[in-house]
Structure 1
Amino acid sequence: MPSPQVLQPVLKMKVDELFLNWLSDSATQSLLKDYLDIIKSGQHIDLSGRDAQDKRLSTFNENNNVASQKNLAEKKPLPLRTPSSPPSQLKGNKKKSMSVGGTPEPITTALSESIPKFYFPQGRPQANINIDGLISKVEKTFSQFPNERATIEDMGQVAKACECPIYWKMPLFCSAGGDRTGFVSVHKFVAMWRKTLQTCHDDVSKFVHLLAKPGCNYLEQDDLIPFLQDVVNSHAGLAFLKEAPDFHSRYITTVIQRIFYNVNRSWTGKITCSELRKSNFLQNLALLEQEEDVNQLTEFFSYEHFYVIYCKFWELDTDHDLYIDQKDLEQHNDQALSNKMIERLFSGTVTRDRKVHKEGRLSYADFVWFLISEEDKKTDTSIEYWFRCMDLDGDGVLSMYELEYFYEDQCQRLETMAIEPLPFEDCLCQMLDLVKPEVEGKITLRDLKRCKMSHIFFDTFFNIEKYLDHEQKDPFSIIREMETDGQGVSDWEKYAAEEYDILVAEEAANDQCNDAQSEPPVDSRQLFCQKAHVSESWESVFEPGAFCFDLFLSFCPCFVLLLCAVRLKISCLLKK
Structure 2
Amino acid sequence: MNVGDPCNLSYSMLECNLDPRLPVHAKTKEKIVMVPVPQIKMDEYFFEWLFSTDAIQLLEDNNNFDTQTDEIEAIENSNKLEDHPPMSPRLKRTTELLSSDVKRLSILEENSLIGEKCSFETDKDKTKTIDRFHFPFGKPIPEYEKKNRLRIILKMESNENAKVKYMRFAKVYKDLYMKYHDEVSLIFGIIKNDNNKYFTRDDLVPLISEILEKHAGLKFLEQLPMFQERYSNYTVICRIFFTINKSWNGKITLNEFKSSNFVQILKKLEQYDDINECRDYFSYKHFYVIYCKFWELDSDHDLKINREALLKYDNYALSSKIAERIVAGYGLGKSKNEVMEYSDFVWFLLAEEDKENPRSIEYWFRCMDLDGDGIISIYEMDYFFKEQQRKMEMMQVEPINFLDCICQIFDSVAPQIPLQLKLKDLKKSKIAPLFFDMFFNFSKFIAHEQHEASWDVMADKEM
With normalisation by structure 2, the TM-score equals 0.70
**Letter of the structure 2 residue corresponding to residue 322 of structure 1:** L
Q: Deviations over 1:215-258 (max 9, x none)?
A: 11211011111211111111110111112111011001100011
User: What SS does the aligned partner of 2:282 have?
Assistant: coil
1:114 aligns with 2:112: yes
C-alpha deviation, 1:264, in angstroms: 1.0
5 Å-filtered alignment, 1:527-566, equals: none
C-alpha deviation, 1:430, in angstroms: 2.0
- Tell me the equivalent position of 1:349: 330
The question of whether the paired residues in 2 share the 8 Å contact of 1:263 and 1:279 is answered with yes
| Residue 389 of structure 2, aligned match among 390, 395, 411 | 411
Range that drifts further, 439-448 or 405-414: 439-448
C-alpha deviation, 1:128, in angstroms: 6.5
C-alpha deviation, 1:341, in angstroms: 1.1
1:227 aligns with 2:207: yes
- Tell me the equivalent position of 1:191: 171
1:239 aligns with 2:239: no
- Tell me the equivalent position of 1:309: 290
Q: Deviations over 1:165-224 (max 9, x none)?
A: xxxxxxxxxxxxxxxxx5223211111111110011112221222121231121101111
- Tell me the equivalent position of 1:440: 418
**Letter of the structure 2 residue corresponding to residue 450 of structure 1:** K
C-alpha deviation, 1:358, in angstroms: 4.8
- Tell me the equivalent position of 1:469: 447
**Letter of the structure 2 residue corresponding to residue 315 of structure 1:** E
C-alpha deviation, 1:267, in angstroms: 1.4
C-alpha deviation, 1:308, in angstroms: 0.3
Q: Deviations over 1:42-97 (max 9, x none)?
A: xxxxxxxxxx9x84998xxxxxxxxxx99999799x99x989xxxxxxxxxxxxxx
1:250 aligns with 2:230: yes
5 Å-filtered alignment, 1:497-508, equals: none
- Tell me the equivalent position of 1:456: 434
Distance in 2, Cα, partners of 1:56 & 1:333: 82
5 Å-filtered alignment, 1:43-58, equals: 55=39
C-alpha deviation, 1:416, in angstroms: 2.8
- Cα gap change, 1:376 to 1:359, in 2 (>3 Å): closer
- Tell me the equivalent position of 2:340: 362
1:429 aligns with 2:407: yes
C-alpha deviation, 1:129, in angstroms: 5.3
Q: Which runs of 5+ in 2 are unaligned?
A: 1-20, 27-36, 52-78, 86-105, 114-130
Q: Which runs of 5+ in 1 are unaligned?
A: 1-32, 39-51, 59-68, 84-107, 152-181, 484-576
| Residue 273 of structure 2, aligned match among 292, 308, 331 | 292
The question of whether the paired residues in 2 share the 8 Å contact of 1:397 and 1:444 is answered with yes
- Cα gap change, 1:185 to 1:322, in 2 (>3 Å): same
The question of whether the paired residues in 2 share the 8 Å contact of 1:313 and 1:367 is answered with yes
- Cα gap change, 1:405 to 1:186, in 2 (>3 Å): same
| Residue 379 of structure 1, aligned match among 325, 347, 357 | 357
**Letter of the structure 1 residue corresponding to residue 342 of structure 2:** Y
Distance in 2, Cα, partners of 1:403 & 1:284: 40
1:272 aligns with 2:253: yes
**Larger relative contact order (C-alpha < 8 A, sep ≥ 6)?**
1
**Letter of the structure 2 residue corresponding to residue 246 of structure 1:** M
The question of whether the paired residues in 1 share the 8 Å contact of 2:192 and 2:199 is answered with yes
Instruction: Note the aligned Cα RMSD (angstroms).
Output: 3.9
- Cα gap change, 1:325 to 1:70, in 2 (>3 Å): farther
The question of whether the paired residues in 1 share the 8 Å contact of 2:362 and 2:423 is answered with yes
5 Å-filtered alignment, 1:4-403, equals: 35=23, 55=39, 114=112, 117-127=132-142, 130-140=145-155, 142-143=156-157, 148-149=158-159, 183-252=163-232, 253-351=234-332, 358-403=336-381
Distance in 1, Cα, partners of 2:308 & 2:289: 21
- Cα gap change, 1:476 to 1:409, in 2 (>3 Å): closer
User: What SS does the aligned partner of 1:114 have?
Assistant: helix
Larger radius of gyration: 2
**Letter of the structure 2 residue corresponding to residue 244 of structure 1:** L
How many equivalent residue pairs? Answer: 369
Q: Deviations over 1:453-498 (max 9, x none)?
A: 2111110011011111112223599969x98xxxxxxxxxxxxxxx
Distance in 2, Cα, partners of 1:71 & 1:227: 64
